[in-house]
Amino acid sequence: MKRFDIITEADARLLDIGATVELTAGGVVTPLAKDTLSARRVTVVPAGSFDPALPADLAPPADVRRVTIGSDHSGVALKRALVAHLRSRGLAVLDVGTDGAEPVDYPDIAAAVAKSVARKEGDAGIVIDGAGIGSAIAANKVRGIRAAMCQDETTARYSREHNGANVLSLGALLVPSVEAAIRIVEVWLGTPMREARYIRRLLKIRRLEEQQ
């Protein structure tokens, strides 16, 4: 992995899209380089914090550009509001339904979202049902998915930073407002997972999946 004392815009332009690089203690990233690194989806971590023995695809993407979202009939209105918000931010959103009041089974929707994320069609997934619990359980049956039901911004941050959640489950009947849901989503999408000690634990989760 490349290590830098200073990262300039010229350096940033030469890095591979989606790469991870190390910055030494006291190192500097120039203002123009920050914009270029963000555009190229490059992750900068403190030197010594990266463990090269860990698979590169364990942690969820830090820079989310594509979101897959779905809900059962109880979450249609909330889903519609979140889709509009995410698209207003310039994110690509894949909406897998449902769109009406006719009852649908939450495991089907959760599976569609989870499989899309597992296939890397989306950098992250959001699934909504009445309480958010059932969808999280169903999504977690898909290999490679770590779904977390979050009711506030604190659990959203922890689910990403500590647990590497790649699917967020929301309860349309539990979240107090659309605005509260948007705040949860913003914190969740904006929290990266970068510490090797946390990522190492994801490897143990992957091994549990492989044992089944």
User: Annotated catalytic sites, by residue?
Assistant: 162
Rounded Cα distance, 33 and 8, in Å: 5
DSSP 139-178: HTTSTT--EEE-SSHHHHHHHHHTT--SEEEEETTTS--H
Distance of CA 23 to the CA centre of its chain: 23
Helix axes 153-161, 178-190, angle to 10 degrees: 20
Q: Please give the structure tokens belonging to residue 116.
A: 């899309």
Angle formed by the axes of helices 178-190 and 76-88, nearest 10°: 50
Bridge-based pairing state of the strands 66-71 and 124-129: parallel
For 97-129, give the DSSP string.
---SSS---HHHHHHHHHHHHHTTSSSEEEEEE
